[in-house]
Amino acid sequence: MKTKGAIYMLAACFLSSLLILQSGCKKDKEMSDPEQKVVIAENTKVIDQTNWQSSFVSVDSATYTYTFNSNINNMNLKVGDIMVSTDGEGLLRKVKTITTVGSQVKIQTEQATLADVIKEGQIKIDTALTISNIKNIKYHYAGINLDTSNLKHSGNTNLTFDINAVVYDADNNPSTTYDQIRLEGNYSFDWNLLVFIDFSTIQGLKEVKCGFESGENLNLEMIAGLEYNFVKIVDLVTIYFNPIIVLVGTLPVIFLPEFNIKAGIDGYANASITTSIEQNLTFDAGIHYLKDEGWSTYKEFDKSFNFNPPHLNMNAGAEAYLKPELTLKIYGVAGPYANLKLYEKLDADLMQTPWWKLYGGMNMDAGAKAEIFGGVLFDFKVSDLISYELMIAEAPTQNTPPTVTTSNITNITQTTATGGGNVTAQGSSAVTARGVCWNTSSNPTTSDAHTTNGSGTGSFTSNITGLTANTPYYVRAYAMNSTGTAYGNQVSFTTQQGSGGTVTDIDGNVYNTITIGTQVWMVENLKVTHYRNGVSIPNVTDGTEWGNLTTGAYCNYNNDANISTTYGRLYNWYAVDDSRNIAPMGWHVPTNPELTTLIEYLEGESIAGGKLKETGTSHWYSPNTGATNESGFTALPGGCRCPCPYWTFAGISSAGYWWAATEVGAMDLWGICLWYNYAGVYYDELGADVKPLGYSVRCLKD
């Protein structure tokens, strides 16, 4: 945004596009005209810094009662006097009561106004705002910084803020970027602060103006990941300025600007978006008060735009904006204020023509409160002082790409997987080719490995081949028409690790194994009926007897040995904890920390269940939520034996339960559970008195 113009705004004191207002203590330039007649009320008592610091004790902000020591008596304060101080944000208060308590003087006050102390005179400010005027900058959000490379000296009035902020992160994991929305760009500006307030003995408050001469340039880009729908506003930075002290005769008037900059996005998207706009603005706008005429508004502005066409392939609607908010306090009391919203907006719908439109716009609000000025009471505000929206680009009306979505990946092995997609709209011409493309880096294209799966609209299945074991891949569906190639949302998966071979238990049962991270696991549930030393593990079929056991035992689900061929056998805790060991030589039942290692390797409890479960619904009930089996663990829903009631069987096809060889206290045990309708892992202490439960066992290599 390039701006040169007086932004008068008793509340347009805000700054055109965005960031920082500065103020400085420049008494020379801000002093009133010495030829201007000045009349200060006789009851005005200015407490200089020396007297204030030597006498002030405390203040009760609820009653505005100030406590001083006896030094304040040197000021000869009386009820009705107006105290003025430059300390802190400044003080302008009328004395209501004076009470002496011991060696302290308590003075209760009420709000005074400029009209109470300035009977005749003018306040004028026309000063450059420089880096030296800034008292403090508070950054609220990572990714926005003041660019100091151009600040060659403290008098430089051009400031630039670099913006690279993630304003939305679906999983709160900064290392995964596909689910983030980022604002990138910069904002630079320079300006002068303009203030004019005029009092006369006869008319009181005659005129008020406040504003800026300003120059700005804003370049903002929005980069969005997959599938979001929300409103997000974040505080980026607050700039605190040094007070501006203006002398009206001998009266110091304290102005304190404060500026807050926000960034936000409002909208929705089904796929990735990248779009940017540079706005160049020139305007002179604000509000103006004149005695007997009240408040009025004025505006004059010009604008131009540079832009990058959006990159997207599905419906989207989003507005990205920066919103600066300025308050200008006088003696710490709110006076003029203003805010600006400078935005870019995208509207994309594959069912409309043209299918996307890009807009730029600005809204400016301004206002002023009356408490500090006096003379008349007012609280004036105006919305949309400047309000415009301009469509700056749109998609060609004759050429629109297809619409395609990417299916989840299933049937993952070491070297193959199954994918696909759905062409939901052909665009402006027929779809001539479709399929999926993949690579080990994100956003694969048809220049990478890809399939060809026919033409036209509708769903399709793709066989992904030639993969490398234990490797992450990214996949996108694609569809081509005469306009070009459109891509669907990106999905990712990791191929299975290499097999660890097989292991045989004491009964001669052979189990396949799989390496997952640093661990080697059985791929099937344990079926053994003997301890490692050859002693039989009792097979207890009666529920009452099972519930009363305090020694190791196993059972077959529903006492059907044929079921155990697929799902393995169920064991009570006593068998798992027996020193004779139910695991094959060189293997063991995993401990709680070892299960934790597995789950963390699979990216946490919320999604690890899907990566452990066998895909499909031949064993699991539908919908078998989240099942990819990308770990190769191939978990099956073998159910459990539980007191439900009388130690019967439950859960086959809907849930799988596995012991951990860890006991907490006397009776609290650990285990994990997977469910057909949940992608995560239930993983916690099992509670008290659960040792008779019948759970499956997976063994881990020593």
Q: Is 279 exposed, middle or buried (0-12, 13-18, 19+ CB in 10 A)?
A: buried
Which whole number is the average pLDDT over 540-553? Answer: 92
Q: For the chain, what are the domain ranges?
A: 6-24+122-394, 35-119, 403-494, 499-701
Q: For residue 25, is pLDDT > 60?
A: no
More confident residue, 36 or 478: 478
| Residue 370 pLDDT class (50, 70, 90 cuts) | low
From 239, 241, 194, 230, select the one nearest 214 (Cα to Cα).
Answer: 194
Please state which of the ranges 188-192, 404-408, 564-568 shows the lowest mean pLDDT.
188-192
| Residue 226 pLDDT class (50, 70, 90 cuts) | low
Chain mean pLDDT for the chain: 82
Q: For residue 454, is pLDDT > 80?
A: yes
Question: How much of the chain, in percent, has pLDDT values that exceed 90?
Answer: 37
Q: Which CATH architecture has domain 35-119?
A: Roll (2.30)
Whole-number pLDDT of residue 5: 32
Which whole number is the average pLDDT over 475-481? Answer: 94
Structure tokens at 620: 């699991």
Whole-number pLDDT of residue 641: 92
Please state which of the ranges 369-373, 390-394, 520-524, 678-682 shows the lowest mean pLDDT.
369-373
Q: For residue 16, is pLDDT > 60?
A: no
Quote the longest CA-to-CA distance of the chain. Answer: 113
| Residue 568 pLDDT class (50, 70, 90 cuts) | very high
Tens digits of residue pLDDT in 288-341: 778 878 777 777 777 777 777 777 666 777 777 878 787 888 888 887 877 777
Which whole number is the average pLDDT over 668-693? Answer: 78
Rg, Å, the chain Cα set: 37
Which whole number is the average pLDDT over 568-593? Answer: 93
Which whole number is the average pLDDT over 119-124? Answer: 91
Tens digits of residue pLDDT in 377-434: 567 777 887 787 878 777 766 667 889 999 999 888 878 889 999 999 888 788 999 9
Whole-number pLDDT of residue 27: 37
Tell me, letter by letter, the H, E, C secondary structure of 153-214: CCCCCCEEEEEEEEEEECCCCCCCCCCEEEEEEEEEEEEEEEEEEEEECCCEEEEEEEEEEE
DSSP letter at 142 equals T
Please state which of the ranges 58-72, 147-161, 274-288, 328-342 shows the lowest mean pLDDT.
147-161
Whole-number pLDDT of residue 14: 25
| Residue 13 pLDDT class (50, 70, 90 cuts) | very low
Q: For residue 279, is pLDDT > 80?
A: no
Q: Is 95 exposed, middle or buried (0-12, 13-18, 19+ CB in 10 A)?
A: buried
Q: Which helix (H) or strand (E) holds 145?
A: strand 144-147
Cβ–Cβ < 8 Å for 483, 428: yes
Whole-number pLDDT of residue 107: 95
Residues in Cβ contact with 540 at an 8 Å cutoff, skipping those fewer than 6 apart: 546, 549, 553, 554, 555
Please state which of the ranges 205-214, 293-302, 680-689 shows the lowest mean pLDDT.
680-689
Whole-number pLDDT of residue 380: 74
Q: For residue 540, is pLDDT > 70?
A: yes
Q: Which amino acid is at 237?
A: V
Tens digits of residue pLDDT in 582-620: 999 999 999 888 998 999 999 888 999 999 999 888 899
Q: Is omega for the bond preceding 645 within 30 degrees of 0, making it cis?
A: yes
- CATH number of the 403-494 domain: 2.60.40.10
Q: How far apart are CA 525 and CA 509, in angstroms?
A: 11
More confident residue, 218 or 376: 218
Cβ–Cβ < 8 Å for 230, 215: no
Whole-number pLDDT of residue 388: 78
| Residue 28 pLDDT class (50, 70, 90 cuts) | very low
How far from the centroid of its chain's Cα atoms is residue 680's Cα? 24
DSSP conformation letters of 239-260? EEEPPEEEEETTEEEEEEEEEE
More confident residue, 60 or 21: 60
Tens digits of residue pLDDT in 94-118: 999 999 999 999 999 998 999 899 9
Q: How far apart are CA 323 and CA 90, in angstroms?
A: 28
